[in-house]
Amino acid sequence: MGKFQVVTHPLIQHKLTILRQTSTGTKAFRDLVNEIAMLLGYEISRDLPLEDIEIETPITKSIQKTLAGKKLAIVPILRAGIGMVDGILSLVPAAKVGHIGMYRDEETLQPVEYLVKLPEDIDQRQIFVVDPMLATGGSAILAIDSLKKRGAGAANIKFVCLVAAPEGVKALQEAHPDIDIYTAALDEKLNEHGYIVPGLGDAGDRLFGTK
Ligand code: PRP
Ligand code: URA
């Protein structure tokens, strides 16, 4: 079974509390999503491999550590996942970015895939799939199905969100027991419309000001 981790750093909890509030406007919401994504990025990159290189300081030659150059891809689930990309890119600027477009049918709550555009060598990359919300889990499950169909290695996939519902975590773990899941918060439940309670509302609409 992959890892499931709630990342409870005080800065993350503080920023998430502001993010949740109705009174937080679009610009602040966008900034906070990126800031929290960056803080999560610190945790999800913890096991990136290092290698030794020889460098020269003003004093002497020395053997030091550097990232082993493992290829990374950040894959946001559109639309709301886009809000997390820059925060993570600020830590790993050389990462490639793929996109998976998906929306939830508001009646059936079933995800519908409308776009997949990935780096050609996605099968050789460590992949961070990002989406602020893990609600029923349908979107995350379908996005990861899509990646695996294109050769992405399960051991190389981490799903990263800001707010998760227990129902979504369970569904994602059942469908893809081999991936790691990171979230900034594990909330109480879903309501009858498939929204996370207490949650933060519709992440896409709040990020892009569409409602
Ligand atoms: C939201 C969110 C997730 C999905 C989560 O997207 O960004 O992708 O819902 O719900 P699930 O776990 O039940 O699938 P939405 O469908 O609202 O699309 P949008 O990002 O384009 O607004
Ligand atoms: N998608 C959202 O944007 N918010 C939720 O609470 C659930 C799904």
Does the beta carbon of 139 lie inside 6 Å of ligand 1? yes
Q: Nearest Cα to 84, choosing from 128, 47, 115?
A: 128
Query: DSSP states of 163-183 as a string?
Result: EE-HHHHHHHHHH-TTSEEEE
Give the CATH number of domain 4-47+71-208.
3.40.50.2020
Which ligand 1 atom sits nearest the alpha carbon of residue 104?
16
Residue 209 assigned ligand-binding role: no
Mean of pLDDT over the chain: 96
Residue 132 assigned ligand-binding role: yes
pLDDT tens, position by position, 176-205 = 999 999 999 999 999 999 999 999 999 999
> How far apart are the CA of 67 and the centre of ligand 1, in A?
33
Predicted TM-score (pTM) of this structure: 0.96
- Position 52 scores a pLDDT of 98
> How far apart are the CA of 139 and the centre of ligand 1, in A?
7
Query: DSSP states of 84-115 as a string?
Result: GHHHHHTT-TT-EE-EEEEEE-TTT--EEEEE
- Position 73 scores a pLDDT of 98
- For the chain, the domains span 4-47+71-208
